[in-house]
Amino acid sequence: MAIQNAVQRVHFSNLPPTTLMTGNTTQAVMDGVDLLRGTPGADTGAVRARFNRILWSICCFALGCGLAAGLYYLAGFWCLALPVIVGAATAIPRKDG
């Protein structure tokens, strides 16, 4: 997955990504290496801003995973009812007016 994401980011950046979180992690590592190495010609401000944005996204994702694991530990398999209920509620059409 890491190779797939690195190739996509470096050589096929004009195409949509084929993965999501793995792609974010790959980009964060590539930006981190660029920041540590001081790659010549790189816009350090833009790389740092992208790195911080992606790192925040990764941290939120990890927090959500941890909360989901805790809910599963406390409620067991029934915790899966919550996403089903939320999904069903968003599928119900609303009348405007």
Q: Write out the chain's pLDDT in tens, 97 residues.
A: 777 778 778 887 776 566 778 888 889 999 999 999 987 776 888 899 989 988 888 888 889 889 989 988 998 988 888 888 888 888 887 666 5
Which residues are CB-contacts of 38 (< 8 A; sequence separation ≥ 6)? 44
Length, in residues, of the chain: 97
Residue 18 gets which letter from DSSP?
A: S
pTM: 0.62
CA of 33: how far to CAs of 14, 21, 42, 44, 65, in Å?
22, 18, 12, 12, 26
Question: What pLDDT is attached to residue 52?
Answer: 92
